[in-house]
Structure 1
Amino acid sequence: MKITVIGTGYLGATHAACMAELGHEVLGLDVDPDKIARLSAGSTPFYEPGLDELLVKHVVGHEGSTGRLRFTTSWEEVADFGDLHFVCVNTPQRHGEYACDMSYVESAIDSLAPLLDRPALVVGKSTVPVGSAARLAERLAVRSPAGEAVELAWNPEFLREGFAVKDTLRPDRLVVGVREEGGPAEQRLREVYAPLLDAGVPFLVADYPTAELVKTAANSFLATKISFINAMAEVCEAAGADVVRLSKALSYDDRIGGRFLNAGLGFGGGCLPKDIRAFMARAGELGADQALTFLREVDSINMRRRSRMVELARQQCGDGFLGRRIAVLGAAFKPDSDDVRDSPALNVAGQIQLQGGQVTVYDPKAMDNARKLFPALGFADSAVEAARGAHVVLHLTEWREFKEMDPAVLSEVVAERRILDGRNALDPELWRGAGWTYRALGRPS
């Protein structure tokens, strides 16, 4: 099939490459010529394992490529290319508010609709407030020359950064919201995803609002689970208990499970924080705000973990940061990503620097993005260089490189052997055995 993908950011670039991998002819569009040039050259402006390899495999012009994928800045070319258009643009948090900024989605619809003069299917994948699809379907019909012959479906994405290619090619489920169950839109999406359906991936068909709610409900549940174990970490610290052992005991309960039950510095990134806030805002607009008031505490617990890490670091520095060097290992909000949006690690680093600490940051992939966001911080080219002369080392993003560090190597360069494990991912006995003072969130000292 011929497919277009509108928006080639994290979601769009991944979706375009993976649709080519499934055998479709794909045309990706973005308004940023530099981004289009880079994607056409076979590389992404962000780090996602396996994605560059897929681009080289399929982008037109590369030796041995299938030629099934190319990119453009032309809306007219997109409209002429095919009749199935995926909208994959960003939906950030509105400035100064909790609500979702729908301007990019609306702009995409408004740019595409006037060019659709024949029957077509537009498929939204962006995370939007419930009720958006019905409004956008009407907007499409009004602004398109083909009127109601242009149909809208909503097909939310469930990508995890660091696993986006796998999550697209081997998803745990596909959800589509359509105007008419069993109608043409559903049948066309079944054709698009036929290789996945043949492999047994569940295909769930729903109305617009249910499909929209699946993504926000899933993210809210995940955020709640993470904040729950971090709330238990607060109790453990007060009671002298060990949250890691508590979590392990809870994980054996089939009703609870152990995934995402790891206490630490909390969640960040471009999805969970803004999605739960937008969900709260939308519930208020619908008159159901009391149903989601618990998410305010979920958000609050998450932010308190950052303040607690700063407090622990201050204690390790003798109750003050002035004249103290602090090494921060990690800048990305999670490993296997260079995404620093709402990064807990950089938030902690920034707070410490504002309080007088001399902070040096190292991350395997996110250094360029971190420098752009926090230019006043110090940066190093390795964990060893970041730790040189440090009075305390903070482990804040659980990259494998950090988990496999030899404490003896860092011992040779630090001013004091003190480490704070913000992710409960290091081996306490290994570090203590090497003469380090080891502290972690939710664990006894």
Structure 2
Amino acid sequence: MKISVIGCGYLGAVHAATLASMGHDVVGIDTDADKVGHLSRGFAPFFEPGLEDLLADGRDSGRLTFSTDMDRVADAEVHFLCVGTPQSKTSDLADLGYLEAATRAVGARAKAGSAVVGKSTVPVGTVHRVREWLAGADVALAWNPEFLRQGTAVKDSLVPDRLVYGVEDSDDAAGPGSAGHGTVRTLDEVYAPLLHAGVPRIVTSFATAELIKSAANAYLATKLSYINAMAELCDAAGADVTQLSAAMGLDPRIGQRYLAAGLGFGGGCLPKDIRSFRAQARELAVDSVDAWMGLVDSINVGQRGRVAALAAELCGGAVSGRRIAVLGAAFKPDTDDIRDSPALDVAVRLAGAGAHVVVTDPKAINNAWMRYPQLQFESSLAAAVEGAEIVLLLTEWPQFRALDPHDLAGRVRRPVIIDARNVLPRTEWRAAGWTVHGVGTGDAARVHVA
């Protein structure tokens, strides 16, 4: 099929490359000429494992091209809307400005009988606005939410957990005679290799499809904030949250995934999605979801304050004038994304309290150094920790998890480390002379943050 993908950020670039790998003829459209230039040459403008191989394959096969020219979408049979929906600057709701511009541009050019398919994460009810923005274009409409995770986005696209189609009439799975039947057949053709491989397909109403991604993220955020609340309780009681979560995770009703206590979540999706979800609940007068998401968000942000306060306590009550090494700038491993990074949040808090903070990260230094002039950045881990009075492990990159505590001890001024991700073998580090504090591991002092 001939397919256009509008918006070539994390979602769009991966989606376009994946569709090309399935044999479709794909054009990715973006307004950023530099980004388009990188992608056209087979280079990803951001770090995502496996993406450049997929881009190179698409370019070499001739099935994948990128352009700033919106007129290139005119002969496409399917148009995927993959633009960003960031948090509004004036509220917790999503900013739909990019989506509106992309939709109007596609509607003005799409040929009759083609399909416009939204993938961006949006508030419930957005599809009705998308119809208005299409301005009467003779196109079918569907919503096909994405479930990509940065760091594993290529795998998540090639081997997804499920496919969700939101269509006009989801009764009887949009069977023959229903308004959405033709749209379902179109999407089945797009995703034929995945369906043949046995990936589950769920056909829903528009409203359900719009809610699924936010509801899933809200649940994952709830698990993370729940175990972080238990971590605070464990610190107060002298218990170990790593053992607690391991035992809880063996219960098949609970499971181990997303039950790891630590510094909490960040990035460009989870925080803004749960705030948008909360705002939607407030607009719909569902007070329980509003209050619930507010608590989840406050627990998550509170973890950052707890770690910063623990660092101050381990420095004798204040960090002013102290050299502190921070391991991690990206919000999670295997990405260079620093949006709402918990690691950088803690680093900025410490710098604001007068500390000399030096940050290192395997991939995110270039994205961070111009935005945070109050911090010092080092590409070399050895340079970052040299003379440090305390080390904070804030992003659990494999390189940091595999550090030799004996080697590191010879570089720092004081062998004190806060393992804010609970990933280091504490016994080995303590045997090497380190004072090690985890999050909720029972060895941290009680830290109360107003």
Which bracket does the TM-score occupy, shorter chain normalised? Answer: over 0.9
Counterpart position of 1:407:
405
Instruction: Using structure 2 for the length normalisation, give the TM-score.
Output: 0.95
Counterpart position of 1:26:
26
Contact 1:137–1:151, Cα closer than 8 Å, also in 2:
no
Backbone CA RMSD of aligned residues? 1.0
3-state SS, counterpart of residue 262 of structure 2: coil
Q: 1:152 aligns with which of 109, 117, 141?
A: 141
The residue correspondences of 1:30-41 to structure 2 (distance < 5 A) are: 30-41=30-41
The alpha-carbon deviation at position 382 of structure 1 amounts to: 1.9
The alpha-carbon deviation at position 114 of structure 1 amounts to: 1.5
Q: 2:105 aligns with which of 95, 108, 111?
A: 111
C-alpha distance in structure 1 between counterparts of 2:33 and 2:302, whole Å: 41
C-alpha distance in structure 2 between counterparts of 1:117 and 1:413, whole Å: 64
The alpha-carbon deviation at position 135 of structure 1 amounts to: 2.4
The alpha-carbon deviation at position 406 of structure 1 amounts to: 0.2
- How many residues matched? 434
3-state SS, counterpart of residue 394 of structure 1: strand
Cα offsets for 1:89-140 (capped at 9, x unmatched): 0000000311110101011011111222422100000000001012212432
The alpha-carbon deviation at position 240 of structure 1 amounts to: 0.8
Counterpart position of 1:62:
none
Q: Which amino acid aligns with 1:46?
A: F
Cα offsets for 1:23-49 (capped at 9, x unmatched): 111000001111111110111111000
The residue correspondences of 1:332-343 to structure 2 (distance < 5 A) are: 332-343=330-341
Contact 2:241–2:261, Cα closer than 8 Å, also in 1:
yes
Counterpart position of 1:83:
77
Cα offsets for 1:302-326 (capped at 9, x unmatched): 0010000001100111111122100
Percentage of pairs with the same residue? 54
Contact 1:124–1:154, Cα closer than 8 Å, also in 2:
yes
The residue correspondences of 1:323-338 to structure 2 (distance < 5 A) are: 323-338=321-336
Contact 1:7–1:30, Cα closer than 8 Å, also in 2:
yes
Contact 2:240–2:442, Cα closer than 8 Å, also in 1:
yes
The alpha-carbon deviation at position 189 of structure 1 amounts to: 0.2
C-alpha distance in structure 1 between counterparts of 2:183 and 2:66, whole Å: 25
**Structure 1 residues 138 and 96, CA gap change in structure 2 (3 angstroms):** closer
C-alpha distance in structure 2 between counterparts of 1:116 and 1:342, whole Å: 36
C-alpha distance in structure 2 between counterparts of 1:109 and 1:26, whole Å: 18
3-state SS, counterpart of residue 246 of structure 1: helix
Contact 1:114–1:143, Cα closer than 8 Å, also in 2:
no
C-alpha distance in structure 1 between counterparts of 2:125 and 2:321, whole Å: 53
The alpha-carbon deviation at position 143 of structure 1 amounts to: 4.3
Cα offsets for 1:245-272 (capped at 9, x unmatched): 1011101111101111000000000000
Q: Which amino acid aligns with 2:10?
A: Y
Contact 1:236–1:443, Cα closer than 8 Å, also in 2:
yes
Counterpart position of 2:94:
100
C-alpha distance in structure 1 between counterparts of 2:155 and 2:246, whole Å: 27
The residue correspondences of 1:153-302 to structure 2 (distance < 5 A) are: 153-180=142-169, 181-182=174-175, 183-302=181-300
Unaligned runs of 5+ in 2: 176-180, 444-450
C-alpha distance in structure 1 between counterparts of 2:140 and 2:153, whole Å: 27
Counterpart position of 2:178:
none
C-alpha distance in structure 2 between counterparts of 1:304 and 1:171, whole Å: 33
C-alpha distance in structure 2 between counterparts of 1:167 and 1:115, whole Å: 31
Q: 2:418 aligns with which of 417, 420, 426?
A: 420
Of 324-333 and 128-137, more deviation after overlay is shown by 128-137
C-alpha distance in structure 2 between counterparts of 1:79 and 1:430, whole Å: 62
Contact 2:143–2:210, Cα closer than 8 Å, also in 1:
yes
Counterpart position of 1:362:
360
Contact 1:29–1:71, Cα closer than 8 Å, also in 2:
yes
